[in-house]
Structure 1
Amino acid sequence: MEQTDLLSRLGVALAIGLLVGLERGWSQRGHEDHRRAAGFRTFALSGLLGGVAALISASTGGVVLGLIFVAYAGVFAAFHWLEATADQDVSVTSVIAGLLTFLLGALAVLGDIGVSVAGAVAMTALLAFREQLHRWVKTLTWAEISSVLILLAMTFLLLPLLPNRTIDPWGAINPYEVWLLTILIAAVSFVGYVAVKIFGDRMGILLAAAFGGLASSTATTLALARMSKDRPESGRLLSAGILLAGVVMMARVAGITLLLNAPLASQIIGPIAAAGAVLGLCAFLLTLGHGGPTDPLTTTRNPLAIDTALKLGAVIVAVMLAAGYLRTVLGSAGVVLVAAVSGIVDADALTISMAHMGGNGVELRVAAQAILVGVAVNTVTKAVLAFAVGDRGLGLTVAAASLAALAAGLGVALMAA
């Protein structure tokens, strides 16, 4: 290790200690200096000590680093115990922070500087936002905590166990992708719940709709429609959110097509723009007419909606099987019919497929028809979901706006034909 690199790494180790020490010193600024076990200077020296210990161990062996760390931990813990006894404080946070400062200083010398700095910043942030984090934890409900745990288990325990390949004779069902879509549906529901709880009705619902629409407008529709059962007074805003998710879906379809097949995009952009404009206008008018509360969400209903996600996942499997069977039996002659069936679930896969096939085995006109039919069916599906899952007013509002959008899109398509 060159001298310049060595000095810079020791400087980073010292800087890590200074950063943590700054926060610790500021948080304990009301204490008298001689009554604190560790302050600004002690943490700064702890980071530098870790760096020096790592440097020594580089030439003498890792055992030396371990011994120095054990000695440091013993001294630090002993002085903190004296402070805790005098102040009757049982918090161990400063001890953990001191040990981490030493280890991050050592990592800055022996390992990746970026990782050590990132760890120091993360630790300092956790220490600095202590009060905010404690207040936030007190606002959580068991339903919210259990929802996060279930979502994490679905993602990191069950998903890796599923085969990432098709398992049916028609090459339609990929268990990994189906379960991933089920996770997405549940996650969109949870994100919508959190957004409304934090930001209130107006901003929370619209944010959830916009970002949820980027992932899955169908899942977003399901989540917002379900929310209308708990908050019927927010039906107009929830309807606007569903329509906004539809606008995002249409913009996504147009963008994907334009990126992959510009000639094909020129044939679908008119009808999609017309339909999207009508949905957007309806959503805007609904937000203007919103008179419901803007307080944070207080419902205790399970925010994850895992049962609904599983039911929709089963429907997705059935639709994908039907689409795969029709594709195998009808071939290219059944492109539009397959698109109609596929559109029940999602428009993205269909759009990507047609963008690749348009002009290469499938006529551009037929590919454009397939995309437009898929988008239309997906729009109708969301209206049906809103009517079936949400309250009556939301269902009627979404259905009326969707029919108006489809009529506008059809009109433009007929004029262009």
Structure 2
Amino acid sequence: MEHSEIFQRLGVALAIGLLVGVERGWQERDVRAGGRTAGIRTFGLTGFLGGIAGILQSMTGPLLPGTIAVLLGLIYIAGKWQETKGDEDYSITSVVAALVVFALGVLAAVGDIVTAAAGGVVTTAILAARHSLHGFLKGLSWPELRSALVLLAMTVVALPLLPDRALDPWGALNPFSLWLLTITIAALSFAGYAAIKLTGTRRGVLLAGAAGGLVSSTALTLSFARHSKEAPQGSADLAAGAAIAGALSFARVLVIGSALSFNLLVPLASGLVPAIIGFLIAGFLRVWRSSAATDVPEITLKNPFELRMVFSFAVLLGLISLISKMTIAYIGTSALFIVAVISGLVDVDAITLSTARLAGSAIDVNTATAVILIAVVVNVVTKAVLAFTAGTRDYGMALAQASAIAIVTGGVAYFALRSFMPE
């Protein structure tokens, strides 16, 4: 190993320790000097020591790093034990973090330096998220945790046992693929659900709308609509939050569709990206022009990992996939547009998944794009109608205007760029 490479690897090992040490030192910044087991200097030296042990491993063998790790752990445990006598803090997070830093220092010296650096960043992020994670756990109910554990068990244990072949003559109902797609969508929705759990709804209408849009923009639109009846002066702000949710739902469709069929990325983006920009501009302008401060309501969203919701979506996805295949076989691809309209009244994820799976094989990319965009437009119009029926007139009008801007912007861009799209 060249000297320059040794210096580089030791530098990364030291940087990992300093990075974690900054976070640990900041968390315990009010503790008197010498009153904590380890701070920025100790963690920095721990990472550096790991790097040195890794470099020496080529001459001494793996026994040296292992011995140092054991001794280091004992020293940290002894220091933490003495610290516990004074403040009765029984957390061993710093001890574990020190051992992780040492291990990453060794990895930086003898393994992939990029992986080691990434591990240091991830470790620091986990340590810094202490309060958010604790708040998430406190707000997590037993039914939510139970549903997640049951689904995890069903996926890890049952998924490999499901037949990975179509069970129908049209090749639509593949149990393995359907369940995998269902769990993926549920996990994506749960990311937004967890964001709301972590941050609450006190961070502002726009952030609440963004998080809610990842879970269910329809549910968020209805929740804000009902609150607009209780606080009519904030109707414009609430409509802005619903518009942001609409933008996130468009982004969600783009990610899902292009992930299943990369050929859909450009044609979908040509219509959805301008529509997303239209929604965002309309939402931010509403908030900027609003003079009334609006309290963000508690968003009533169902847990995406609830078994009934997951199985319902799996049935809906299977049904739409089967209808789409049968429609193509017996009627033709043009009938898919009717399926898109009907599906868009209820949900866009299922039609996006089923259509993306057909793109490039049973139907061409442009037809698949048109089917998905029709479902998206129908879904947006449906939410605007719900806003009028469940909320105030101002809320409905504001969301309808934002939706119209998004649809027109996306439609003009899509048809303008359509001639440049490959068949």
CA distance in 2, matches of 1:298, 1:340: 28
Alignment of 1:294-305 (within 5 A): 294-295=295-296, 297=298, 302-304=302-304
Residue 217 (structure 2) aligned to one of 205, 216, 220 = 220
Aligned to 1:331: 332
The 1:53–1:296 alpha-carbon spacing in structure 2 relative to 1, beyond 3 Å, is farther
Deviation at 1:88, TM superposition (A): 4.6
Instruction: Give deviations 1:18-39, integer Å, cap 9, x for gaps.
Output: 4444554563564244x55544
The 1:20–1:2 alpha-carbon spacing in structure 2 relative to 1, beyond 3 Å, is same
Is the CA contact 2:132–2:198 (under 8 Å) kept in the aligned structure 1? Answer: no
The 1:146–1:289 alpha-carbon spacing in structure 2 relative to 1, beyond 3 Å, is farther
Aligned to 1:203: 206
Residue 266 (structure 2) aligned to one of 259, 266, 278 = 259
CA distance in 1, matches of 2:199, 2:76: 45
Instruction: Give deviations 1:264-303, integer Å, cap 9, x for gaps.
Output: x8xxx8xxx99x989997998899789794146387x754
Q: Does 1:65 align with 2:65?
A: yes
Aligned to 1:179: 182
1:71 match: secondary structure = helix
Aligned to 2:420: none
Residue 155 (structure 2) aligned to one of 142, 153, 158 = 158
Letter in 2 for 1:7: F
Deviation at 1:109, TM superposition (A): 0.9
Is the CA contact 2:13–2:50 (under 8 Å) kept in the aligned structure 1? Answer: yes
The 1:150–1:308 alpha-carbon spacing in structure 2 relative to 1, beyond 3 Å, is closer
Letter in 2 for 1:175: L
CA distance in 2, matches of 1:278, 1:17: 44
Alignment of 1:29-178 (within 5 A): 30-33=31-34, 37-85=37-85, 88-127=88-127, 129=128, 133-134=130-131, 137-138=134-135, 141-143=138-140, 147=144, 150-151=147-148, 154=151, 158=155, 160-161=159-160, 166-173=166-173, 174-176=177-179, 178=181
The 1:147–1:168 alpha-carbon spacing in structure 2 relative to 1, beyond 3 Å, is same
CA distance in 2, matches of 1:245, 1:298: 12
Deviation at 1:158, TM superposition (A): 1.6
1:72 match: secondary structure = helix
Aligned to 1:393: 390
Q: Does 1:8 align with 2:8?
A: yes
Aligned to 2:322: 321
Is the CA contact 1:195–1:204 (under 8 Å) kept in the aligned structure 2? Answer: no
Deviation at 1:203, TM superposition (A): 1.6
Is the CA contact 2:136–2:194 (under 8 Å) kept in the aligned structure 1? Answer: no
2:331 match: secondary structure = helix
1:315 match: secondary structure = helix
Higher mean Cα deviation, 104-113 or 242-251?
242-251
1:171 match: secondary structure = coil
Segments of structure 1 that go 5 or more residues without pairing to the other structure are none
Segments of structure 2 that go 5 or more residues without pairing to the other structure are 413-423
Aligned to 2:193: 190
Higher mean Cα deviation, 50-59 or 13-22?
13-22
The 1:167–1:195 alpha-carbon spacing in structure 2 relative to 1, beyond 3 Å, is farther
Is the CA contact 2:55–2:109 (under 8 Å) kept in the aligned structure 1? Answer: yes
Please provide the CA RMSD for this pair.
Answer: 5.4
* Matched residue count: 382
Identity %: 27
2:170 match: secondary structure = coil
CA distance in 1, matches of 2:81, 2:47: 21
Alignment of 1:357-396 (within 5 A): 375=373, 379-380=377-378, 392-394=389-391
The 1:226–1:392 alpha-carbon spacing in structure 2 relative to 1, beyond 3 Å, is same
User: What TM-score comes out, normalization by structure 2 length?
Assistant: 0.64
User: What TM-score comes out, normalization by structure 1 length?
Assistant: 0.65
Larger radius of gyration, structure 1 or 2? Answer: 1
The 1:71–1:356 alpha-carbon spacing in structure 2 relative to 1, beyond 3 Å, is closer
The 1:332–1:57 alpha-carbon spacing in structure 2 relative to 1, beyond 3 Å, is closer
